[in-house]
Amino acid sequence: MRWSEIDTVPCPVAQAMSVIGDAWTMLIVRDALRGSTRFDEFQRSTRASRAVVAERLTRLVHHGVMERKQYEAHPPRHEYQLTARGRALQPVLMVMAHWSETQLPKPTRSTGRRHTTCGHAFAPVVTCSDCGEPVTHETITYDRPRGSAGRA
């Protein structure tokens, strides 16, 4: 199978990767979640080429993760805003950053995240919607057989 066919696979991980399974894309989404909206902000922050940033932003708009909006008429200028679908990526990025902070050997600066509900610095904890307890690799099973991309 070629990567261009990945979105034909009925697996949610494969589907997610067909939209955000590209590292530059994730960095653009990271910046957008922190408030960046302008092409130049994304380009300066990611230090990717303008062509790469333009292509990734177009894909994110195509997939409904961002919206392109005109914010100035003369000359016409546009910015990129996250949609609800895009804002829903916050937990994905948070949990990914937490894995990196706690599991990888290279030091990274802390993301300095704070939960406005309680006002505290925090780590993200993935819990069960039913019992509220943490879910880890050791406390998860799958009802259907493991295996092929077509069945996973």
Size of the site for a copy of itself (CB under 8 A): 97
Q: Which is nearer to a copy of itself, 75 or 107 (CB)?
A: 107
Residues 64-93 that bind a copy of itself (CB under 8 A): 64, 82, 85, 87-93
What is the per-residue burial (b if ≥16 Cβ within 10 Å, else e) of 52-64? bbeebbebbeebe
Q: How far is it, in rounded angstroms, from Cα 6 to Cα 71? A: 35
| DSSP conformational letter for 105 | S
List, in sequence order, every residue forming a beta bridge with 116; answer none if it has no partner: none
**Contact map string, positions 101 to 120, toward a copy of itself, x by CB under 8 A:** xxxxxxxxx-xxxxxxxx-x
The number of residues making up the chain comes to: 152
Site string for a copy of itself, 21-60 (x = CB under 8 A): xxxx-xx--xx-xxxx----x--xxxxx------------
- Looking at beta carbons only, is 35 or 75 nearer to a copy of itself? 35
